[in-house]
Amino acid sequence: MKKTIKVFHWLPRIICIIAILFISLFAADAFAPELSIWQQLGDFIMHLIPSFILLALLIVAWKWEYIGGIIFMIIGLGFSPIVFMHNYRMNHSIGMSLGIILMITIPFVIVGILFIVSHFLKKKNLPKTTSGE
């Protein structure tokens, strides 16, 4: 059982870090040759704001798994329709838009579920203490 707890402890953290790194890749479109280096760096930092927010939420979830799990599930489920509609307007393809949802928002739903599972596994396996000793 200890190994299962360890897996569920690290799995959401690792998946979340990978998902944040993936989201951060989209900031690379801030670099355009017609802009000055300062404009490019400013745009790059602005594009990284979602990654910074997700990183802050990961820090919260790292300490308080249950709360973090709920937050990540809300983020994943809440942004799915927004991301879907945005992409559907651009490409008019339901399949492609669903694929983008699977890559961008669903990993955060999975991370949320895994954080909650980790919380309850740890809570269930806390050593029982006797009172009055």
CB 64: neighbour CB atoms within 10 A?
Answer: 14
What pLDDT is recorded for position 133?
46
Which tokens belong to 31? 């670099």
Single-letter amino acid, residue 63: K
What pLDDT is recorded for position 30?
83
Q: State pLDDT tens for residues 7-22.
A: 999 999 999 999 999 9
What pLDDT is recorded for position 92?
92
CB 42: neighbour CB atoms within 10 A?
Answer: 13
Q: State pLDDT tens for residues 30-89.
A: 888 888 889 989 999 999 999 999 999 999 999 999 999 999 999 999 999 999 999 999
129 pLDDT band, cuts 50/70/90, is low
Domain coordinates in residue numbering, the chain: 2-124
Helix H or strand E encompassing 66: helix 65-91
Q: Is the pLDDT of residue 90 over 50?
A: yes
